[in-house]
A and B are shown apart, each in its own frame.
Chain A
């Protein structure tokens, strides 16, 4: 990339320094444009997708009036929100009330810059990319708390406080399970994590969702749903209790910012899951299909990569929507208890087991047996089997802690009067 640009500028006759500066601004502008476009389009599409999926699982048709198949419904809603009156009450803290949506909105969109959609289409390739992602995603909570406080509304306050406590609880298992990934990959660079997964060469089986303990992924998944405040963890905006939680008082464009940011963070988290656990932009068969077929056109490769990661991301989004349609909401004490008593110990155990697994991988001169057409280390398989048994035992142990009789004793009685 850089060479192309510098060569281009050399041809024109500009000094290389100027070329770099211009290239930087051009790239930044292009990136911003692409990101915001991708983000907005993704969010707009996701809102529609959510409404459609929720409609289909309840045997309805969903939005179908605005545009073909209701495609423009969200646009219409957005336009409505744009032109809606922005109500602000005199008792509200104006600064915090205005700042909150921005603080909530901005970080969630910045995460897009760190997601490698292809190996080239990547906003910033940070060495500590994973860390930066979690730093950003926890920043959004500040926006929620500010919204809860600045609204001067009791429901909002409860919602904001709930979001704070929820974020504190669920970021720990989230980060701990991501840490296991970083440990296995040996890097915090997100692109490197993707490449490491592909370097295993087993395709699907070298993805961290499978090659690393699947438990890691499950913990990450649950925590990420809690992180983006979706059912069953949508306590900050539990509409049956807190009306609308932290955004009760918001209307118009400020509300739209909250609304967009929620979906954007869902997209970000789903993309992160695809990247960390599902091989990112690589196909499930190892490498790229077009590459394996011998088509050697870079653009085609880039397109295929983008297709894979977008597909994986949307599968997780669809799953989150299906969960939303099925599950009831947890209570705050259950939410906390689930995190502190169950997920955090489990993720610590998991981290420990992944460390053992990593050590097993690092062993050399170990006999191998052929499996799936590859030579797989016996040590690896043995560790894996042992850890799986350990996991079952751990789950059973947790189960006995929370054991309670599930089947109620309802008796049917025939009355005799």
Chain B
């Protein structure tokens, strides 16, 4: 009787339905997203940001390294000049988040650990122009930068 296809079929269908029915009593695993935010890891590849010095000044030295490793072409645009003390001054730093693929290449090559990724993933906006972030939109404040460095185990910035 065990190899009877009809009977074993009935048993197996019953077993399958019991297994599925068991899940009726298990708690849901999904999150109600806008109210409950998912827990993201520290390494999460989210929106790009620029860390600053503790004093809030620009950390970026305008070396173009991030721009050059970006797989998306001219996504990162940096314009800089040097002041009279030969210190770099960033005139313009824009990132087109709408075209970013969040690969993390730029964060890896940054010699001063300036460009980093946040856990922010809610980037939708109403226009493409709004997704082009400039330096003020990208830069974190000094305290936020210190906090970020502390959380992610980076060396605290020293002048």
Contact = CB atoms under 8 A, between A and B. Distances in A.
A369 interface: no
Given A399-B5, A403-B5, A404-B5, A60 B13 contact: no
A56 B16 CA distance: 16
Interface stretch (B25-33, B58-66, B116-124): B25-33
Contacts of A326: 13, 16-17, 20
Contacts of B3: 403, 405-406
Contact of A322 (B6, B7, B8, B21): B21
Contact of A59 (B4, B29, B32): B29
B6 A60 contact: no
A56 B24 CA distance: 5
Given A402-B5, A403-B4, A60 B30 contact: yes
Interface string A395-417: 11011101111100000000000
A57 B21 contact: yes
Interface residues of B, number: 20
Contact of A395 (B4, B13, B24): B4
A400 B21 CA distance: 30
Contact of A61 (B13, B24, B28): B28
A61 B1 contact: no
B85 interface: no
B23 interface: yes
Interface residues of A, number: 24
Interface in A70-112: none
A57 B6 contact: no
A61 B5 contact: no
Interface in A28-75: 53, 55-61, 64
Given A398-B6, A399-B4, A59 B23 contact: yes
A297 interface: no
A59 B17 contact: no
A327 interface: yes
A378 interface: no
Given A395-B6, A403-B4, A64 B32 contact: yes
A325 interface: yes
Interface in B1-59: 1, 3-8, 13, 16-17, 20-21, 23-24, 26-30, 32
A59 B6 contact: no
A344 to B, nearest CB: 15
Contacts of A404: 5
Contacts of A325: 20
A404 B4 CA distance: 9
Interface string A188-232: 000000000000000000000000000000000000000000000
Contacts of B30: 59-61
A303 interface: no
Interface in A361-417: 395-396, 398-400, 402-406
B53 to A, nearest CB: 45
A315 interface: no
A329 to B, nearest CB: 14
A301 to B, nearest CB: 33
Given A61-B32, A326-B16, A406 B21 contact: no
Contacts of A61: 28, 30, 32
A56 B25 CA distance: 8
Contacts of A126: none
A57 B28 contact: no
A291 B6 CA distance: 43
Nearest to A403: B5
Given A322-B17, A327-B16, A60 B7 contact: no
A322 B20 contact: yes
A326 B12 CA distance: 11
Contacts of A59: 23, 26-30
Contacts of B7: 395-396, 399
28 contacts: A55-B28, A56-B23, A56-B28, A57-B21, A58-B23, A59-B23, A59-B26, A59-B28, A59-B29, A60-B28, A61-B28, A322-B17, A322-B21, A325-B20, A326-B16, A326-B20, A327-B16, A395-B4, A395-B6, A395-B7, A398-B6, A399-B4, A399-B7, A400-B4, A403-B3, A403-B5, A405-B3, A406-B8
Interface of B: 1, 3-8, 13, 16-17, 20-21, 23-24, 26-30, 32
Across chains A and B, which 9 residue pairs bring their CB atoms closest together, nearest first?
A399-B4, A399-B6, A326-B20, A59-B29, A57-B23, A61-B28, A60-B30, A326-B17, A402-B5
